[in-house]
A = this chain, B = another copy of it.
Amino acid sequence: MTGWIAVAGLGPGDDALVTPEVTAALDQATDVIGYIPYVARVAPRPGLVLHPSDNRVELDRARHALDLAAAGRRVVIVSSGDPGVFAMASALFEALEAAGADPDIRILPGITAMLAAAARAGAPLGHDFCAINLSDNLKPFALVEHRLRHAARGDFAMAFYNPRSRSRPEGFARVLEILREECEPGRLLIFARAVSTPDEALQIVTLADAHPAMADMRTVVLVGNSATRRVGRWVYTPRSAGVA
Q: Does A3 contact B (CB under 8 A)?
A: no
Which B residues are in CB contact (< 8 Å) with A58?
239
Q: A24-B16, A108-B119, A110-B111 are in contact. Are A102 and B232 (CB under 8 A)?
A: yes
A139 to chain B, nearest CB (A): 6
Separation of A116 and B21 alpha carbons in the complex (Å): 12
> Contact: A109 with B102, CB < 8 Å?
no
Residues of the B chain whose Cβ atoms lie less than 8 Å from the Cβ of A205: none
Query: Which of A45-53, A63-71, A129-137, A173-181 makes up part of the contact surface?
Result: A129-137
Most chain B CB within a 10 A radius of its CB, from A128, A129, A142, A145: A128
Q: Do B244 and A90 touch (CB < 8 A)?
A: no
Interface: A189 (CB within 8 A): no
- Of A92, A131, A140, most buried by chain B (CB within 10 Å of CB) is A131
Interface residues of A (CB under 8 A from B): 11, 14-21, 24, 58, 82-86, 89-94, 96-97, 102, 105, 107-112, 115-116, 118-120, 122-133, 138-140, 142-143, 145-147, 149-151, 153-156, 229, 231-232, 234, 236-244
